[in-house]
Structure 1
Amino acid sequence: MYFNSLTMKKIVALAWIAMGCYSTSLHAQDDLLNELNQDQNKKETVSAAFKGQQICTMQSTKMAAKGEWYFLVAHRFGDLTNGFENFFGLDNALTKLGGLYGATEWLTLGFSRHTLAKTYEFSGKYRLMAQEVDGFPVTIVGYHTMDINSQLEKEEYPELSGTDRFAFSNQLLISRKFSENFSLQLTPMYIHKNLYDPLLEEKSQFLMALGGRYKFSKRCSFNWEYAQRFNTVSNDPYQNPLTVGVDIETGGHVFQLVLSNSQAMNDVSYFTTATGDFNRGIFFGFNLYRVF
């Protein structure tokens, strides 16, 4: 009787162990299946529609990775068509110094100082949607800037207030990488100036910009951009901005050479005050980004 009871206890114990192992095995299989299903449902995103943070002067949908710092130096020399009068633009250069920080994988913050009107420019760039392989067709990024014109003087504008120094741009960057070599970007935008000359421009302006990139070698691409201004005054003295350039990837930075009909580099001025027409008013320059 003692033998039978002991044997039964062992059988029960072994049964519990077997059931526990079987249950654990089923749970592990379920977890593995769930992970496989999640991997299958997770879409692969398309990267590097543009290599630079800018196409030429216009912003691209490229974002800084979380924790990355970018240092930016940019120049736009004077009008090349003046020849030796201004030493082919070298005597009249404008400079931009700035930095970008990847606050998160989807948010990039920026700051820059421009010699034009001693302007301070603050920017925010955030990803709304990413292009996917066999999924969502485009990348969508929001981009906003706020300019502070520190050159304005009370002597020139006696009724000048602090907010008169502000100007803003609001942009929606929509890009698609069609192949490893070719990308396009469409950018509707709204620009507002608190201080403006009503004889020359509207207080608020709407534009539609188009830019592209064609990679012609392992480290080089041809870039271009154009913006159409819609609500202009009847005697509008400005041109629609047009810029072409070349991207050169050199290790930890992207070097961009550009030719433009606009000398300004802050978004508000670049898009609304272009003066050249590629017969007169051609400005050569470069952008240099170094990532840390």
Structure 2
Amino acid sequence: MRRTIAATDWLRVLRADAPARHQLVCMPPGGGSATAYRALATKLGAGIGVAAVQYPGRQDRLGEPAISDMDTLTGRIAEEILRQGPIERLALFGHSMGATVAFETACKLERAGQSVTTLFVSGRPAPTFVEPGRLHLASDDELIGDLERLATDPASVRILRDEPSLAELVLPAVRSDYQAVETYHYCQGDPLAGDIAALVSTEDPTMVPEQADQWRDHTMGSFERALFPGGHFYLDEKVSEVADFITRSLARHHSVA
């Protein structure tokens, strides 16, 4: 019997297909939470169980300190997944900061003996990219400004300027996530054994589509790049198309015998 992922403080089950041929664990973008992948979970094809990581310091984990170090964060996530026992046909998905989180988690899982069939990385350059900014040290106003720059609808972020009490709740986790990304340094290691699929959008202000090709250097398996129209958070508007891509990719490379 194939093992399905059980819900924990760190792992939130968004879809529990039974029997599931694949288990997909999603890593939220900076400032995000597990609920960011609720819509994606509903659009994926049959036989794909979906869980999402809930980082500390937000939503129902608001009382816990956020983790601002990438190695510490991904170590905790890998430990939580490994506690589930061997998972057959495990895949990871991450968008923006979540792509780096997913990659480092995949590296730790493979070293521990848990295979990752496919790593889906979205809206993020390859690990060798060095983030030039230091917005985690900037003012709240500058931090909100960058969130507005990346948002599909900047008005949805502007509420943080108008509601200081809300900003006090939200910005500490955002700042911690920015610190994790901006202080991350890739340590050279063996390429992943599993496949990598890099998803990128046409108008992303954080990268150009060609940068996604550099993810090819981090796998001994197959590599594929997929291009979608839109800005940094294209996934919000192209969720069906992304779900179709993930479903096809898993079915094509890891069909059930």
Quick check: TM above 0.5? no
Structure that is richer in helix per residue: 2
What's the TM-score, normalizing by structure 1?
0.26
What's the TM-score, normalizing by structure 2?
0.28
User: Which has the bigger relative contact order, CA under 8 A and spacing at least 6?
Assistant: 2
